[in-house]
Amino acid sequence: MTDEGDGSVDAEDAAAVTTLASPTPADAREAVAAAIEREDVVSVFGTCTVEYEGRASSHLGPGDRLVVCKPDGTTLVHTDEGHQPVNWQPPGSTQEARLTDGRLELHSLRSTPEEELLVRFAEIIQVTAYDVTDETELALEGTEEDLRERVLDNPDLVESGFTPLATERETPAGAVDIFGEDGQGRRVVVELKRRRVGPDAVGQLGRYVDALERDLHAEADVRGILVAPSVTDRARRLLAEQGMEFVALEPAA
């Protein structure tokens, strides 16, 4: 069932996959170039060095890696460890398979910012190309959007008598998650976070409150409420210092 070196295919839909085991650099270059042209996803196992130059720069000496090139311009270089690729190029980059000094090189360029990635293979273990098509969309739950819906469906979860008036209300400091008023008719700014919050979220909420107090040119005060599953000690202290509040709430019931 395995394709021969020239990428010949058998019946059925095996036409979609191309595999080369221990190919010559020239054969590998040919196969990768054709696969990129065909808009396949390409994976290459082998020993390589990697150079990156752009916002930062890096050099990576010889080692075994898995390199993946996607038809959207993404390139990923993975070692045997870590969620993150050791080097990469984002979507929208150009991709080229070259033969330089008898070695396979995968070269990728992007602009804004100008960045360059060069993978040079000392040994090629295997090249695979496959026409990966995925129309399906990921259905993700438990996001900040879910938390917002939960609060809007049941505002009492924030505080008895709380009434949302607007979402994404604009202020000079940016858009407030939920703007509303409490049982006494005081203005309330609610900042939502889907997970445990630190000092950064307090700073954000504080900027919104200040901006709104300025915007409504200071007719009394604006309450700031941080809604999240939990809060760190320092963040809780910062909230208190600025006269703001915390309400514990999970993104999902």
Partner DNA sequence: TTGTGGATGTCGCCG
Partner DNA sequence: CGGCGACGTCCACAA
Instruction: Please state the closest distance from residue 34 (CB atom) to a second copy, in A.
Output: 17
| Nearest in space to 191 (alpha carbons), one of 231, 219, 220, 221 | 231
Shorter beta-carbon distance to DNA: residue 16 or 195: 195
62, interface contact from a second copy, DNA, none, CB < 5-8 Å by kind: a second copy
Per-residue binder mask for a second copy (CB under 8 A), 105-134, x = binder: --------------------xx-x-xxxxx
Going by the DSSP 8-state scheme, the letter that residue 174 receives in this structure is E
SS3 144: helix
Choices 3-11, 22-30, 33-41, 140-148 (CB under 7 A): range interacting with DNA: 140-148
Q: Determine how β-strand 103-110 pairs with β-strand 163-171.
A: unpaired
Encoded one letter per residue, x for contact with a second copy by CB under 8 A and - for no contact, window 153-182 reads --------------------xx--------
Residues 22-81 touching DNA, rule: CB under 7 A, are 52, 54-56, 58
Q: Quick one: which of 191, 193, 179 has its CA closest to 146?
A: 193
220 binds a second copy (CB under 8 A): no
Please, are residues 18 and 7 in contact by the beta-carbon 8 Å criterion?
yes
Q: How far is CA 65 from the centre of its chain?
A: 22
Q: Is 84 in the site for DNA (CB under 7 A)?
A: yes
Q: Taking CB under 7 A as the criterion, which residues in 202-221 touch DNA? A: 204, 207
Answer for which of 26, 62, 218, 221 binds a second copy (CB under 8 A) is 62
Binding of a second copy by 90 (CB under 8 A): yes
Read off the tokens for 93: 């980059």
Q: Fill in the per-residue mask, 114 to 133: x = in contact with DNA (CB under 7 A), - = not in contact.
A: -x-x----------------
Sign of CA dihedral 140, 163, 250, 199: positive
Q: Which long-range contacts (CB under 8 A, 24 or more apart) does 55-63 make?
A: 55/113, 55/115, 58/87, 60/86, 60/87, 62/122
Q: Are 54 and 113 in contact (CB under 8 A)?
A: yes
| Residue 209: C-alpha distances to residues 67, 136, 217 (Å) | 48, 41, 12
* 111 contacts DNA (rule: CB under 7 A): yes
Instruction: Tokens for 141, please give them.
Output: 């739950």
Which of a second copy, DNA, none lies near 145, with the C-beta cut-off 5 to 8 A by kind? DNA
Paired tokens of 76: 């990923």
- Alpha-carbon distance 160 to 157, whole Å? 7
Binding to DNA in span 230-249, by CB under 7 A = 232-235
> Binding of a second copy at residue 140 (CB under 8 A)?
yes
Q: Is the dihedral of CA 203, 168, 161, 195 positive or negative?
A: negative
Q: Give the residue, chosen from 29, 65, 120, 193, that forms a contact with a second copy under the rule CB under 8 A.
A: 65
Q: Residues interacting with DNA, by CB under 7 A?
A: 52, 54-56, 58, 82-84, 87-91, 110-112, 115, 117, 138, 140, 142-145, 170, 173-175, 177, 191-196, 198-201, 204, 207, 232-235
